Amino acid sequence: MKFGIMVNEGPYTHQATDSAYQFAKATLEKGHQIYRVFFYHDGVNNATRLTEPPQDDRNVVARWSKLAEEHGIDLVVCVAAALRRGICDENLAPGFRISGLGQLVEAGIQADRLVVFGD
């Protein structure tokens, strides 16, 4: 089965990001495919390389980057939501790219299921 994932919440303020990441890992471990992960609203904060969590905390941004690198996952950040929050190409973490809502629509069309995390 092919999944699209939408993340609407920031990395350290809501459980949605951790749930989305764990869902993606479990999906891949079961042999399914992730078509795309689309970050929207405050979820775009998952994509900034400017995040520096304490050493004893999880590095949410690095986890997404590593997952994308290992499995060839397309990590897309909504351009309008990103620009509102000061995120641009120059401060994106590895593996992320900025694009428009058309990428979310395409994920909904191409994937068998689109799973949304956060409000």
Q: Which residue has the tokens 């999880």?
A: 58
CA distance 11 to 64: 11
Domain locations in the chain? Answer: 2-117
CB 93 within 8 A of CB 59: no
Over residues 60-93, the pLDDT tens digits come to: 999 999 999 999 999 999 999 999 999 999 999 9
Predicted TM-score (pTM) of the model is: 0.96
From the candidates 67, 78, 81, 107, give the one annotated as an active-site residue.
Answer: 78
Rounded to an integer, the average pLDDT of 93-111 is: 97
88: annotated active-site residue: no
Per-residue exposure over 69-92, b if at least 16 CB sit within 10 Å of its own CB, e if not: eeeebbbbbbbebbeebebeeeeb
Q: Residues 2-117: name the CATH superfamily.
A: DsrEFH-like (3.40.1260.10)
Task: Write the CB contacts of 67 (distance below 8 Å, at least 6 apart in sequence).
Answer: 21, 24, 25, 28, 73
CA distance 88 to 84: 10
